Amino acid sequence: MSSILVLKDVVKTHGQVVAVNHVSLTIERGEFFSILGPSGSGKSTLLRVIAGLDIPDSGTITIQERIVNADPPHARPVNMVFQQYALFPHMTVFDNIAFGLKMQRQTQPCIRAAVEEMATLVRLEGKLQRFPEQLSGGEQQRVALGRALVNRPVVLLLDEPLAALDQQLRQDMQAELKHIQEEVNTTFVCVTHQQDEALLVSDRIGVMAAGKLLQVGTPQEIYEQPVSSTVAKFIGLSNSFSGMITRTKSGICWIEQEHFPLMMARCPKGLVAGPVFVVVRPEHIHISVDQPCNDYENTLSAVVHDVAYHGHEVFYYFCLANDSIWTARVPRAEVPTPSLVVGQSLFLQWAAHEGFALSD
Amino acid sequence: MRALPKPLVLAGFMTMLFLYVPVIILIGLSFNASAMGVTWKGFSIQWYEKLLADPSIMDATINSLIIAVLSTFFSLLLGLGLAIGMEKWRKGHASWMNILILLPLVIPEILMGVALLMVFVFLQVPLGFGSIVIGHMVFNLPLTVVILRARLRKFDPIWEDAARDLGASSWNVLTHITVPMLRPAIVGAALLSFTVSLDDFVVTFFVAGPGSTTLPLKVFSMIKTGLTPEVNALSAIMVVVSMACVGLSWLFQSQAYSFSIKHDSSS
Ligand SMILES: Nc1ncnc2c1ncn2[C@@H]1O[C@H](COP(=O)(O)OP(=O)(O)O)[C@@H](O)[C@H]1O
Ligand SMILES: [Mg+2]
C-alpha cells in the first residue's frame, strides 16, 4: 500500500525566520504519527502547510499520491484540530460539528445522523445544544476533535491537542485519543512538545528542532538510539556528559572527560575522533554502595542528592564530580538495603554497551 | 464601591438637566392644549392628530425613511468590504486610509454640503433622492467603518482558518463566520447610520431637490412661518425615535456574543 502523506523538501519562511527547513517525511496509512519538538520549532507551521493554511516556499506535499500544493485548504482531504480549538463561538456544539458537512452540502438527515454518531464517539451526547463557552476545557477539546473527524479526513492533524488541559485530564484524553484513532482507523499526525505524551501513544515519532526534522523512528528507536545530542536532550531523563574520543575498537569507544576516569561507550560507525556527547539511560545505572563491582567497565563516584518515589519505581538523583545531576531508576524490588541517605558517597556503574556516544 | 461626594452628584445631576431640559420642555409643550407659545392650557394630543392628518408631513416622513434606509444599506455594503479589507491588509496602506476615512466626520458639515452641491451640479447629477442618499453616505460610511473595525479588531483569524480547513470557500467564510460574528456591530452601525441620516439637516438642505423634502427640512420650513405646536409634536416624535435607535445601537454593540446571536442556530 502506498504512503498516505509524503512531504518532500518542504521549506516555509516567515520573514527572516525559517520555520520549516527542508523537511521530508513519509507517513503511512493508519499511523499515529507524532511530531515532537520544543516550542517554536516549527511544528504548527508544518501542520498548517499540510492543511494548506500556509503556502510553502518550496517542496511538495503529496496526499494519497496527489500533489496538493496548489489546492486551497477547503479542497484538501485533511482536517485540523487547532491548538486553541478555534470553536465558532456563535454556533452551538451541533452546528460546530455539522459545519464541515454543511459546507459539503449534505442533506439535513445525513448531517443529523453523522453529528449524533460523532457526539457518541467523542462523548458529547446531551451537550449538542450548548455553546462553546458553556463547556469545560475538556469538552471544548472534544468538540474540536469531533468537528474535524466528522468529515472523515484522510489525515487528521492535531496541534498540541492536550496542551491546554490539566494533568489528570491530559492523561485520560491521551488514552482516549489513541482509542478514537483505532476506532475511526484514520491517520493521525499529532504535534506535541511533551515527550512522555508522544512516547506513549505514537506508532512513530518525528523529532523537530529549529525547523529541521532531526530523526524519525518508533518511540523505542528514538528513546534508545537518538541520532544526535539534541534529540537525546529533548527526549529527556538522560544522564549525559561531553568528552573527547581517544580510541575506538569494534563499535566501542574510549572517552576522556576532565573530571571522570576514562569511559567506554557504544559508538556509531562514522565516529572516530573529536568531541562527543555520551548518554546513559537512568535504568542502566547500577548502584554499588561499598565498592565497585567488576562486571561493569565504567565507574563514577557520586553523592546521593535526592530520592523520589514514583509508584513501582524509585528515582535516585546523584551529584557527580563535574557537578552535574544524574538519575538512576530502580524498580522497588531492587532497591538497595539499607536504604540510601542523602549525602552518602557511593559508586555508579554501567557496562560499556549501555552508554552510547553521539556526535556533539 | 465608594459613595460619590454630594457636590459631585449635584454637579452631575445639573449637567444632565442642562442637556435634557430643552428636550423635556419640547415634549411637554407638544401636549399643550394652547396654540400659542409657552403658557400651559391643559393636556391634549390634538397636535399629534393634526400632524397625522397633514399629507405633506406624511410625505416628508416617507421620504426621510426611504433615504435613511438606502443610505444605511449602501454604507453597510461598502463599509463591510472596506472594514474587512483594511483589517486584513493592516500593514499596507491601511494607516493613511484610516485617517482619510475619518476625515469626512470632522469636516464642517456646511462645507461638505456646499462641496457636494458643487460636485452634483458639475457632474449634472439631478438633485433629489439619489443626491441625498449619496450625501448621507459621506458621513454614514465612515461611521460604519469605524464601528465595524472596532469589532473586527477582536476577531481571531484562527476562526477563518478553521472554517477554511473544514471546507468553507472564501464566500462561505464571509457568510458563515465573519458576518455572523460581526452581527452586533452591523446592527449597531445600521441603527446609528439610520438615525444620523434621519436627523440630518445641513447636507440635506444643500443637495435636496423638488419632491425630496425630508422631515428636518419640513420642520425648518414650518418654523419659517412661525413656531406652531405641530412642530413641537413632530420634533418630539423625532427625538424619541432617534433616542430609541441610538439606545438600541449601543445595546447591540455592548452585548456579548452569546447574548446577541444565540438564536442563530440554523439547523
Ligand atoms: N505568522 C507568523 N509570522 C511570523 N513568524 C511566525 C509566524 N508563525 C510562526 N512564526 C515563527 O516561526 C517559528 C515556528 O513557529 P511555530 O510553527 O508556531 O512553532 P511551534 O508550533 O513548534 O511552537 C517561530 O520562530 C515563530 O516565531
Ligand atoms: Mg505551535
Query: What band does A176 get if pLDDT is binned at 50, 70 and 90?
Result: confident
Kindly state whether residues A47 and A181 are assigned to the same domain. yes
Kindly state whether residues A178 and A277 are assigned to the same domain. no
The grid cell for B36 is 400659542
The most confident of A176-180, A333-337, B15-19, B67-71, by mean pLDDT: B67-71
Of B2 and B160, more confident: B160
Domain coverage including residue A83? 3-228
Kindly state whether residues A140 and A205 are assigned to the same domain. yes
Q: Is the CB of A16 under 6 A from ligand 1?
A: no
pLDDT one-digit tens code per residue, B52-91: 888 888 888 889 999 999 999 999 999 999 998 888 776 6
Kindly state whether residues A94 and A166 are assigned to the same domain. yes
pLDDT one-digit tens code per residue, A182-199: 888 899 999 988 887 777
Q: Where are the alpha helices (DSSP H) in B107-214?
A: 109-122, 129-152, 157-165, 170-173, 179-199, 202-207
Q: Is the CB of A19 under 6 A from ligand 1?
A: yes
Q: Does B88 fall in a domain?
A: yes
Task: Report the alpha-carbon angle A139-A141-A142, nearest 5.
Answer: 65
Q: Does B217 fall in a domain?
A: yes
**CA–CA dist A179, B131 (Å, integer):** 67
pLDDT at B42 over 90: no
Q: What is the ipTM of this complex?
A: 0.80
User: A12 burial class (0-12, 13-18, 19+ CB within 10 angstroms)?
Assistant: buried
pLDDT at B160: 92
**What's the CA-to-centroid distance between B83 and ligand 2, angstroms?**
29
- State what percent of residues in chain A have pLDDT above 70: 99
Say if A350 is an interface residue toward chain B (CB within 8 Å): no
Q: Does B103 fall in a domain?
A: yes
Kindly state whether residues A145 and A73 are assigned to the same domain. yes
Q: Is the CB of A209 under 6 A from ligand 1?
A: no
Domain coverage including residue B242? 57-266
Q: What is the CATH number of the domain that holds A291?
A: 2.40.50.140
Q: Do B159 and A88 touch (CB under 8 A)?
A: yes
pLDDT at B262: 37
Backbone Cα Rg of chain A: 24
- When CB atoms are compared, the residue of B156, B165, B267 closest to A80 is B165
Q: Do A51 and B264 touch (CB under 8 A)?
A: no
Q: Which of A44, A191, A194 is the best mutation target for the ligand 1 pocket, counting ligand atoms within 8 Å of the beta carbon and taking the most?
A: A44
**Residues B51 and B234: beta-carbon distance below 8 Å:** yes
pTM across the whole model: 0.78
Q: Does B66 fall in a domain?
A: yes
The total of structural domains in chain A comes to 2
The most confident of A179-183, B248-252, B253-257, by mean pLDDT: A179-183
Q: What is the CATH number of the domain that holds A138?
A: 3.40.50.300
Kindly state whether residues A176 and A90 are assigned to the same domain. yes
Kindly state whether residues A77 and A161 are assigned to the same domain. yes
Ligand 1 atom at minimum distance from A41 CA: 22
**Mean pLDDT, rounded, for A311-330:** 88
Nearest ligand (C-alpha, residue A35): 1
Q: Does B38 fall in a domain?
A: no
Lowest-confidence pick of A58-62, A94-98, A122-126: A122-126
Q: Does B97 fall in a domain?
A: yes
Kindly state whether residues A188 and A82 are assigned to the same domain. yes
User: Which is it for the CA torsion A235, A308, A311, A348, positive or negative?
Assistant: positive
Amino acid at B168: A
Residue keyed to cell 458639475? B122
Kindly report the average pLDDT of chain A as a whole number. 88
The total of structural domains in chain B comes to 1
Kindly state whether residues A268 and A196 are assigned to the same domain. no
